[in-house]
Structure 1
Amino acid sequence: MPHAYSQAKKAHESGNNEGIRLQKILAQAGFGSRRKCEEMILDGRVEVDGELVTELGSRVDPKRQEVRVDGSRIRLNNRHVTLALNKPKRVLSTMDDPKGRYTLRDIVGDKYERIFHMGRLDYDSEGLILMTNDGELSQHVMHPRYEVAKTYVVTLDGHLSGNVCRRLVRTGVQLDDGWIKLDQCSIIDANRETTIVKVVLHSGKNRIVRRIFGAIGFPVRRLVRTQIGPIKLGDLKPGSYRVLSDAEVRSLSKAVGL
């Protein structure tokens, strides 16, 4: 059976105008003007179904075929949307709650069909949660194989020394379910009563940051997640959300192997 793109190419050469011009798809995906997208094709940066495309005028069926630029897959389904949401404290990381407590649905409403959160923050934690109705992207973001780095700003009870911070990166700490290490730990501010630290780790285990610092005698007063992979919380206000740009979705997709 001929390769899917080979079939499309033959259809184009025979005068069949089915499909969408490749440079138009690239432009719609946010890669710039059609002229710039044509240059990308001519430079050999674009693949369709695993085959390099260097000819202009080629047409693609976005419902059936896969397009990659510089090895990164382009999301072609316009119905898919991915959101960055700033979860306040005392909001459940779920879409519905039988007890009537405030949930993510109370923030995003019913505007987006079948949208769901990728990962969670506990009830008293704040910050970045990603949501999408792209099932494939969601599976990759949450799969242990593709655990992306997550960044937190954490306020602790007590004065944490730099040596302890470095030890959490170098050797880690033993919890009930095994040893765990931080990827990065840096002190932002400290006094006799509290310490503010920035931590980065890949683990997606439940309440992992609180458990790590609780295990060494530094209870968490406040926890804010500020970044997931390449996506940053930025100046997004608590209780609000924004739609990720095409470039952000591409960078997130690349980070999780899509």
Structure 2
Amino acid sequence: MPNAYERAEKTHARNNEGIRLQKLLAQAGFGSRRKCEEIIQEGRVEVDGELTTELGTRVDPGQQQIRVDGSRIRLDTRHITLALNKPKRVLSTMDDPKGRFTLRDIVGDRYERIFHMGRLDYDSEGLILMTNDGELSQHVMHPRYEVEKTYIATLEGRIGGNVCRRLVSQGVRLDDGLIKLDHCAIIDGNRDTTIVKVVLHSGKNRIVRRIFGAIGFPVKRLVRTQIGPIKLGDLKPGSYRVLSVTEVRSLSKEVGL
């Protein structure tokens, strides 16, 4: 256990090395240097569990844990996180022994050890997140955190608002248990087809298709448009983009990092 003198020496050494705290916050997407100084002075920043309000404090993000409003700052230039728009008939995997089109065919080998966080079935489309940050990946996929996911589903047949309300309030029982939607809203429809927006936390395999199939409305097309705070936006099918520092921070906060 270091004595008071040793602790003071360590603090002095640290204050003459590392990166200024306001600069680190700016790099992490919290705004301008001036804005980050205000965040520090407002008492919103912790370094290794201790409140820090002194401007000019130097930190080592590789050795110290920095939090803003209780959320840990993750700033590692080796880590990359992507948002990818998966087209139909693409496997949510990096390799396929049968030679079918995979995510690797879209992202290539540019990013070392990158992997998908969750899956979409072969015929479904939309947002898939990929990263080489193992800790972030484990948290996003862990059932404990149940990240909210949004889909646009095109159904066979015409359903009414009462069906959506029942799926939210009562749910439907599948082979692996009862499942409820968090939100269900009709976007458009005609005599033969209904388009609905669906929000749920479950990451079970083919869950949206199974829910509507169980009540007699097979899914003709399924597009995932959002995972937690990350939106698909206008990303074209078969393309991807690198998430901003702000987006990664918001996703990390969503999953308890």
Q: TM-score, normalised by structure 2?
A: 0.95
Deviations 1:208-254 (A, max 9, x none): 00000000011110000000011110000000011111111111111
Shift of 1:12: 4.7
Task: Report the RMSD for the aligned CA atoms in angstroms.
Answer: 1.7
- Which 4+ residue blocks in structure 1 deviate beyond 6 angstroms? none
Checking the alignment, whether the CA contact within 8 Å between 2:26 and 2:33 is kept in structure 1 is yes
SS at match of 2:144: helix
Partner of 1:201: 200
Which shows bigger deviation, 37-46 or 244-253? Answer: 37-46
Shift of 1:2: 5.3
Map of 1:1-258 to 2, 5 A cutoff?
1=1, 7=7, 10-13=9-12, 17-258=16-257
Amino acid at match of 2:220: R
| In 1: Cα distance, 2:201 partner to 2:106 partner | 27
Checking the alignment, whether the CA contact within 8 Å between 1:12 and 1:59 is kept in structure 2 is no
Change over 3 Å in CA distance of 1:154–1:16 after alignment to 2: closer
Unaligned runs of 5+ in 2: none
SS at match of 1:249: helix
Unaligned runs of 5+ in 1: none
SS at match of 2:194: strand
Amino acid at match of 1:39: E
Change over 3 Å in CA distance of 1:159–1:15 after alignment to 2: closer
Q: TM-score, normalised by structure 1?
A: 0.95
Amino acid at match of 2:86: K
Shift of 1:10: 4.7
Shift of 1:40: 1.4
Amino acid at match of 1:237: K
SS at match of 1:13: helix
